[in-house]
Amino acid sequence: MQAKSTTNYPTYDLLVNSMSAGASLGKEFRHSLSHKLFIRYGIELSFSYDHNYYKSLANEHEDFKYSPGINLLGGILYSISDNLVLGFYCYPISNIKPERIYQMELNLMSQVLHMD
């Protein structure tokens, strides 16, 4: 008689779908420090939307994230010539962004399979 040994490992199948979109609208101001050096600053309103969907053998999960925001930005511009400008830009200096996350657990059944 011959002994046969079989080891079964769990299979992990994972499906991930993600989608993101965003838009922003703002106003920029420039203040001259010299003929070639400018300070640049402004404010921006933004909105972004994220949708994520995860599905595995054990469960499904879906979440939606809505993120409106107000961004303060600033920087320095140096004019090398009439057609060429070198800029250092901090974006954002400050970001006020409350996030709302809506989650749905579509199936909370999780199983652990033990096979000998």
Is residue 57 in some structural domain?
yes
> How do beta strands 100-107 and 84-96 pair?
unpaired
**Per-residue model confidence as pLDDT tens digits over 60-116:** 888 888 888 888 888 999 999 888 989 988 866 666 666 666 655 544 333 333 344
Tell whether 5 is covered by a domain.
no
Q: Identify the pLDDT of residue 113.
A: 39
CA distances, 68 to each of 48, 50, 107, 109 (Å): 6, 12, 30, 34
In a domain, 2, yes or no: no
Is 4 within the bounds of a domain?
no
pLDDT of residue 104: 57
- For 33, the 3-state DSSP assignment is coil
**Structural domains counted in the chain:** 1
Q: What is the pLDDT of residues 7-56, one digit of tens each?
A: 555 555 778 889 999 999 999 999 999 999 999 999 999 888 999 888 87
pLDDT at residue 56, as a whole number: 79
Q: What is the structure's pLDDT at 36? A: 92
Domain contains 112:
no
- Write down the pLDDT at residue 7: 55
In the chain, the amino acid numbered 108 is L
Q: What is the pLDDT of residue 59?
A: 80
pLDDT score at 71? 84
Residue 78, domain extent: 14-107
Whether the predicted model's global pTM rises above the 0.75 cut: no
Kindly state whether residue 1 falls inside one of the protein's structural domains. no
Q: Is residue 3 part of a domain?
A: no
